[in-house]
Amino acid sequence: MRKTLNMLYSIVIIALLLAACAPTPAATSTSDASSNSETEQQLSTTPAQIATTSTQVVSLDSQPPAAPPSGGAGNPPPGAGTGSSDASSGLSSATGAHTLDGGTETQTDQTYSASTVDQSGVYVLNSGNLTLKNVTVNTSGNTSSDENSSFYGLNAGLLAASGSRVSMSGGTIATTGTGANGAFATGTGTVVNLSDVNISAIGDGGHGVMATQGGAMTLTNVNMTTSGAHSAPIATDRGGGTITATGGTLNTIGQDSPCYYSTGVLNITGSTCNADGSEVAVIEGANSVILTNSTTKASVADKWAVMIYQSFSGDAQGSDGIFTMSAGSLAYSDPTGPLFYVTNTNGHISLKGVELSAASGILLKAEGNDRWGTSGSNGGTAILLADGQTLTGNFVADKISSITATLQNGSALTGAINTEKIAKEINLTLDVSSTWTVTADSTISCLTNPDGISGAAITNITGNDHTVYYDKSLCTALNGQTYTLTGGGTLTPSN
């Protein structure tokens, strides 16, 4: 009997010990997951930002890693986490205060209000065709899934899905809940056209407009204000999308909420962007932002005005982001960060006649950032084309990053290049009409300047008594010679 009791006691003790050691189930919270990545994005960042990269690059989004001491990336349409794998499941809980399931309809001077979880003010699906004139859409409910809101539009004020078409002229869309985007187009064949509409989205993850999974939007004179984190006014997320906008003013104050966040194609003309909490633009993966005659500025501390990256979060594919800007202005008022920043990807930057302003004096920076990619192999490769462009500021790159800059058609650079002599490679090409005014001793890999070299003199580089070093092993065309620069100084082989 005693032996039996001893055995029972032993069994009870062992059971208690096992129970004490068992792991406690982890609590889950859909509201904490971020989407898009950068995350600067919640970049997912990584680049992923290019996370679309698409990291979202961000893992331009699920929960982003802590930002590096220097300030971290920033973009982020939320989403880059573990959302549903397709729109039908991602929108399974979606409802609308007004729903059009197929068919055609026109509504005028109506007000649609929604206050429950996952409920849109207007929801159009299954190839529905809805025309709205001077309507008001108000929603206050929260989302049940940040990822499904960013990937498929769950809880958006106006949601178009599965090949539907919505045209809205005049009126307003206002959302206050989490994950409550203003207007959303998801799925191939889905189109949303907005004209003379005012949009306000103040909850976290509440973008102004978004297109995903091949959806498309056209905006004409649409004004947007967002204030939550991860709430870019104009954005795409997983699966990409195309947004074409003409006119309109964008105001954004939330963290990781650039005016333009691209994991697709954003083509913007005549826009005004005021970004106080994030960048002007973030591109994740092989995607693009095209700005024409637009006025843009950012003031957020310790970041940059434009970032091109890859987060590898799954929101964006590829590694060749493209930023193109002609006319207009781009300004960054923070005294520490560069105007352009490229990391963990290839960033193609084309500028023509743009008024540029970088308070830090750093025009372009390419570097590895431990927030995205594998340390040691996550450098940036920046390819800059300046066409009739005035450039003022320095080029900076770390030991795993490179810059290739081409100045043509009367472009002028005033600044220094690689003053710390650590860049992996920096190459500069000047045509006969373009110039470089050197402001400090600089180091380049190679200079291509076929029409600016006359004998042992270079006529279109003003040295100001500074020395520019080049790598004779990488630049055999210069024959290892030393050349004099206009205004004093030399171009000479490095040791």
Residue 495 has what pLDDT? 78
pLDDT band for position 83 (50/70/90)? confident
Residue 104 has what pLDDT? 98
Higher-scoring residue by pLDDT: 362, 73 = 362
pLDDT band for position 317 (50/70/90)? confident
* CA 201 to each of CA 96, 175, 409, 426: distance values in angstroms, whole numbers, following the listed order: 17, 5, 43, 43
CA 361 to chain centre: 22
d(CA 45, CA 350): 24
Cross-strand pairs, 346: 320, 381
Mean pLDDT of 251-275: 97
When the pLDDT of each residue in the chain is averaged and rounded to a whole number, the result is: 87
User: Three-state SS for 9?
Assistant: helix
Mean pLDDT of 290-310: 97
First-residue to last-residue Cα distance in the chain: 91
SS (HEC) of 144-186: CCHHHHHHHCCCCCEEEECCCEEEEECCEEEECCCCCCCEEEE
User: Three-state SS for 63?
Assistant: coil
The tens digit of pLDDT for each residue in 241-261 reads 999 999 999 999 999 999 999
- β-pairing verdict for 394-397 and 362-366: parallel
* CA 192 to each of CA 49, 113, 161, 164, 167: distance values in angstroms, whole numbers, following the listed order: 26, 20, 10, 8, 6
The tens digit of pLDDT for each residue in 459-472 reads 999 999 999 999 99
Residue 287 has what pLDDT? 97
For the chain, domain boundaries: 168-462
d(CA 285, CA 315): 8
* CA 134 to each of CA 36, 110, 261, 366: distance values in angstroms, whole numbers, following the listed order: 32, 7, 28, 47
The tens digit of pLDDT for each residue in 14-64 reads 343 334 334 333 333 333 333 444 433 333 333 333 233 333 333 323 222
Mean pLDDT of 102-107: 98
Query: pTM of this prediction?
Result: 0.85
Residue 36 has what pLDDT? 43
Residue 41 has what pLDDT? 39
pLDDT band for position 77 (50/70/90)? very low
H/E run at residue 322? strand 320-326
For residue 81, pLDDT beyond 70: no
Cross-strand pairs, 446: 427
Q: Which of 61-70, 270-279, 307-316 has the highest mean pLDDT?
A: 270-279
For residue 8, pLDDT beyond 60: no
- In this structure, the chain runs to a length of 495
By the 8 A CB rule, do 107 and 98 touch?
A: yes
Q: How many helices (H) and strands (E) does the chain have?
A: 3, 48
CA 228 to chain centre: 16
Q: Which two tokens stand for residue 292?
A: 């024409």
Higher-scoring residue by pLDDT: 124, 11 = 124
Q: Which two tokens stand for residue 296?
A: 């843009």
Cross-strand pairs, 385: 350, 406
